[in-house]
Structure 1
Amino acid sequence: MRRRTLPLTAAAGAALLAAGPLPTTASASVREGSVDAAELLAKVSSCRQISSGLYRTDEEATATVPVCGTDDVVFRKADMDIDCDGQRTAACNENRDPWYQDDTAFHQSDGRPLNAETLPYVVVPSASGIWDHTSAGIKGGGVVAVIHHGQVEYAVVGDTGPTSIIGEASCATAQALGIDPDPATGGAESGVTYVLFKNSQVSPIESHSAAVALGERLARRFVDGD
């Protein structure tokens, strides 16, 4: 999980400069599947708040973000910080990410942590008095539609974060949406909508194609009102 408020040491800063920026590429398509961003956004245009309080987007920010819900989904509109935790890769390691941790809350089918460089996943806040994701039918491996600038990317719930901060996803999620995936300097300040489908489960959790297939089916059912 990314913690923006932790100061970089001189050594960490020098390591980041030596490592250089991560390559960025725009998403190859407007969306994954046939459900477009406008259809999904129209269904989550008003908020029935299900959280007991509000979340901050960063440690230093004012709490302004509610968790909203319908019978079928949980959603929030926030920023995107970059989570590079999990398997150690060329893009996700101590040199690239000063907040790097070598584990994720949820694991692959082989027991290993998730791979933030290759797997689109999102982070949910750890359970607290503000909100407990498990009580709303959100669990590890649940499918999520992440929407940014007219694009839709399907991801899974892959990690948990601070109890009072919301709005974080793996660098693979960011890259697919054309967002800078650098864990130290990237992300999006606003304009990201996360639609989490209740009681869903991608199996195996590390299969992005399975997430797309399930996400497309649930998104179509949601926008059509079936």
Structure 2
Amino acid sequence: MRRPVPQREAFHVSPVPTITLALAGAAALLAPAALHSSPATASESRTAAAAAADGVTASELLAEVRDCTRISTGLYRTDQGKAATVPVCGTDEAVFWKADMDIDCDGRPGTYCNVRTDPHFSAATAFAQSDGRPLSSEQTPFIVVPAPSTLWDHRAHGVRGGSVAAVIHGGRVQYAVVGDTGPTGIIGEASYATAKGLGIDPHPQRGGVPSGVTYIVFKNSRVSPIEDSAAAEAAGERLAQAFVSGD
């Protein structure tokens, strides 16, 4: 569930369809925020240094999404009441956007995501696990896409529940799946587990970051079962490698 957070740092959007997204600080490591203790997720985050040894780095991914060919009909807000500044962009292989990160703590209740910790908690997610239960925000790294609208319909661009995403912040990469939908005019939200994997405070009320998060979703990809975070990590590595190498 989207939370009000402090004023976001908006990035410039050109009135023409092709724009350039800011990359400042993408290669620098961000010191992790102080996190309250929680169970480890199945998919651990990788710093840029670790990624350089065994996989695609944050800077490599960001270089591929420097230029934005807009596929949304307009721009999204990062929060209610904020100016609409965020386009959804596309390539042949992926869709992407740069925004904030608010914490989606919805889904199966747990120690850190429940009605006591989150006054806006919902025990449902748009996409369910293989056993029919809602996803666990604490255990499954997932991102939230805006619900389909005339602004943008993710389904028309090869994005659905279980699609593989690379989420980038502060030089770190966290692979995730599309697991929930949000308001039609707002973008920039991910699960507790996604935030934790990136070193971002995952608390449902005070957590998140106001800017600097890049979301890349690989078209026509899918993890099944959707809750298999190890499979999402493996698929993400493979798709990211193909994305940066042009294969």
TM-score by length of 1: 0.89
The amino acid that maps onto 1:23 is H
Q: Which amino acid aligns with 2:179?
A: G
Residue 223 of structure 2: aligned partner = 202
- Alpha-carbon distance in structure 1 between the residues aligned to 2:201 and 2:37: 6
Decide which of 23, 30, 37 is 2:36's aligned counterpart. Answer: 23
Match of 2:93 among 68, 72, 97: 72
On the 8 A contact 2:45/2:174 being kept in 1, the answer is no
Q: Structure 1 counterpart of 2:178, which letter?
A: V
1:171-215 deviation per Cα after TM superposition (whole angstroms, max 9, x unaligned): 110011000100111101000000000000001100110001111
Shift of 1:3: 3.9
Q: Secondary structure at the match of 1:156?
A: strand
Partner of 2:115: 94
Question: Residue 46 in 1 paired to residue 64 in 2?
Answer: no
Question: 1:180-191 maps to which residues of 2 (within 5 A)?
Answer: 180-191=201-212
Do the aligned partners of 2:3 and 2:205 also contact (CA within 8 Å) in 1?
Answer: no
Give me the identity figure in percent.
60
Distance 2:37 2:114 in 1: 17
Segments of 5+ residues of structure 2 without an aligned counterpart are: 6-33, 39-43
Are the structure 2 counterparts of residues 28 and 163 from structure 1 closer, same or farther at C-alpha, using a change threshold of 3 Å?
Answer: closer
Match of 1:4 in 2: 4
> Given the alignment of the two structures, is residue 211 of structure 1 paired with residue 228 of structure 2, yes or no?
no
Deviation at 1:24, TM superposition (A): 5.8
Partner of 2:157: 136
Change beyond 3 A, Cα 1:180–1:222:
same
Tell me the alpha carbon deviations over residues 73-103 of structure 1, each in whole angstroms, 9 at most, x when there is no partner. Answer: 0000000000000001111101111110000
Aligned to 1:18: none
Q: Is the 8 A contact 1:24 1:178 kept in 2?
A: no
Aligned to 1:14: none
**How many residues get paired?**
210
4+ residue segments displaced more than 2 Å? none
Residue of structure 1 equivalent to 2:190: 169
Say whether the 8 Å CA contact 1:24–1:181 is kept in structure 2.
no
Q: Give yes or no for the alignment of 1:110 onto 2:131.
A: yes
* Structure 1 residues 95-138: Cα deviation after superposition (integer angstroms, max 9, x where no partner): 11111000000000000000001110000000011000000110
**CA RMSD of superposed structures (Å):** 1.6
The answer to whether the 8 Å contact 1:106/1:113 transfers is: yes
1:4 partner letter: P
Unmatched segments (≥5 aa) in structure 1 = 6-20
Question: Normalising to structure 2: TM-score of the pair?
Answer: 0.82
Q: Are the counterparts in 2 of residues 37 and 151 from structure 1 also a CA contact under 8 Å?
A: yes
Q: Distance in 2 between matches of 1:183 and 1:73?
A: 28
Residues 28 and 81 from structure 1, CA distance in 2 versus in 1: closer, same or farther, beyond 3 angstroms?
closer
